[in-house]
């Protein structure tokens, strides 16, 4: 039997250094430029693609079986995919899962996102680890016609994420209420009926499952746009302030977010809780600095040590910038640290219920070791309300 004829490549990934990876395209056709990162999670590709924290990035999935459980409306973290594209080892197969409502290929086409399969993702991941997150151009053309020189030039022309405020692009256009709680068998998502705390959540690119965790912890959540002022926040007379995850350079978003947070801290004693970009916004507001990481942390298996209890949590992460622990001012304590590279993963004020973590305790996808942080936030609001009523 004669060997099968090699397939003509219908997609290519061009790196700014001139390296080109060829493969088979699926999803939307066209071209996009972005920063390239890799994610080591074995599940949750739909949640990853719709996580607003991935704005401006193409995601390489190190796990080869991407697409095997299909997609469904319940697993979207926001209305549309935010990641610019995806790179996988093997072409997605027909899904086999009782929750699947659509194939990944069809979903990507309908949502306008480009993907490439058949890529040596091990080699690509090693290059990212060694050289840092590269700028890339990803193209999909069924005819297989590519202008490689133009694609490399486009990758080199990408401005990069440093100095880029992407929170404005992914935040909500106006305020809204949220009362949906975490998914549970067999009911699925249920609505909160008896909230105990009023919480304002500032949306820098909030994932739906973070909001669900807040609702499940007893919070009546009002979501405000990233550009909300202290007056906007305090007008709701909240019991607590939540600062969400999000994409881009924290220093750029901090130009308008930091003054708001500082103003709230000066005018109110309410508890404050931040996650991911919200963690970085709080750190900047307290006087620390942030730095761009070589290739960031993206995955669902990151060990983090609680410096105060000695316990280790396995966490989900998605960030390309980090708080520089060496710049934390007096009165701000480092509470959590990555056991992969020692980078900062959490802070708190020594004398107030104000704290944040770099990782994602809502764990979608990933382990659920860290849900206690939402309960800690609720307990802090309960304690603060009792103190104020005395």
Active site residues: 276, 360, 362
Pair of tokens at residue 38: 């890799």
Q: Provide the b/e sequence for 281-312 (b: ≥16 CB within 10 Å).
A: bbbbbbebebebeebbbbbbebebbbeeeeee
Phi, psi of 76 (to 5 degrees): -70, 135
- With tokens 């920063």, the residue in question is 35
The dihedral built from the CA positions of residue 9, 90, 41 and 183, taken in this order, carries a sign that is positive
- Tell me how far apart the alpha carbons of residues 327 and 305 are, in angstroms, rounded to a whole number: 20
Question: Residues 10, 15, 16, 20: what is their CA dihedral angle, to the nearest 10 degrees?
Answer: -60
- Tell me how far apart the alpha carbons of residues 71 and 69 are, in angstroms, rounded to a whole number: 7
Q: Contact at 8 Å (CB) between 84 and 34?
A: yes
Cis before 186? omega within 30: yes
- Tell me how far apart the alpha carbons of residues 104 and 378 are, in angstroms, rounded to a whole number: 37
Phi, psi of 284 (to 5 degrees): -60, -40
Pair of tokens at residue 62: 């190190």
Pair of tokens at residue 354: 């104000």
Nearest to 170, CA basis, from 51, 274, 273? 51
Q: Contact at 8 Å (CB) between 118 and 37?
A: no
Q: Contact at 8 Å (CB) between 332 and 288?
A: yes
- Tell me how far apart the alpha carbons of residues 44 and 67 are, in angstroms, rounded to a whole number: 10
Pair of tokens at residue 41: 């999670």
Helices (H) and strands (E) in the chain, counts: 10, 17
- Tell me how far apart the alpha carbons of residues 126 and 122 are, in angstroms, rounded to a whole number: 6
Instruction: Report, in angstroms and rounded to the nearest whole number, the Rg of the chain calculated over CA atoms.
Output: 21
Local structure of 255: helix, strand or coil? helix
């Amino acid at each position: 039997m004669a060997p099968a004829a090699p397939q003509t490549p219908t997609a290519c990934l061009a790196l700014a250094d001139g390296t080109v990876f060829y493969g088979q395209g699926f999803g939307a056709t066209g071209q996009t430029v972005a920063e390239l990162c890799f994610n080591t999670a074995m599940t949750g590709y739909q949640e990853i693609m719709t996580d607003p924290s991935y704005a401006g990035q193409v995601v390489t999935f190190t796990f080869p079986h991407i697409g095997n459980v299909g997609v469904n409306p319940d697993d979207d973290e926001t209305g549309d995919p935010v990641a610019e594209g995806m790179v996988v080892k093997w072409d997605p197969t027909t899904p086999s899962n009782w929750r699947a409502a659509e194939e990944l290929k069809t979903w990507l086409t309908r949502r306008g996102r480009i993907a490439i399969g058949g890529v040596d993702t091990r080699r690509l991941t090693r290059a990212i680890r060694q050289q840092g997150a590269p700028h890339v151009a990803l193209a999909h053309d069924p005819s297989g016609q590519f202008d490689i020189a133009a694609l490399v030039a486009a990758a080199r022309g990408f401005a990069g994420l440093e100095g880029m405020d992407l929170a404005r692009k992914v935040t909500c256009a106006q305020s809204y209420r949220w009362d949906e709680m975490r998914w549970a068998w067999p009911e699925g998502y249920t609505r909160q009926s008896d909230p105990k705390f009023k919480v304002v959540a500032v949306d820098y690119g909030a994932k739906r499952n973070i909001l669900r965790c807040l609702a499940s912890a007893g919070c009546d959540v009002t979501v405000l746009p990233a550009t909300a002022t202290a007056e906007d926040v305090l007008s709701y007379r909240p019991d607590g302030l939540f600062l969400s995850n999000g994409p881009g350079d924290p220093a750029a978003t901090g130009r308008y977010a930091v003054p708001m947070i500082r103003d709230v801290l000066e005018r109110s004693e309410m508890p404050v809780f931040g996650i991911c970009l919200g963690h970085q916004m709080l750190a900047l507001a307290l006087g620390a600095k942030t730095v761009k990481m070589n290739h960031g942390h993206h995955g669902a298996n990151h060990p983090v040590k609680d410096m105060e209890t000695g316990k280790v949590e396995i966490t989900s992460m998605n960030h390309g910038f980090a708080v520089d622990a060496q710049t934390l001012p007096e009165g701000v304590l480092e509470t959590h640290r990555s056991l992969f590279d020692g980078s900062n993963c959490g802070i708190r004020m020594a004398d107030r219920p104000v704290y944040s973590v770099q990782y994602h305790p809502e764990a979608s996808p990933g382990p659920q070791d860290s849900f206690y942080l939402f309960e800690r936030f609720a307990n802090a609001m309960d304690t603060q309300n009792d103190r104020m009523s005395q």
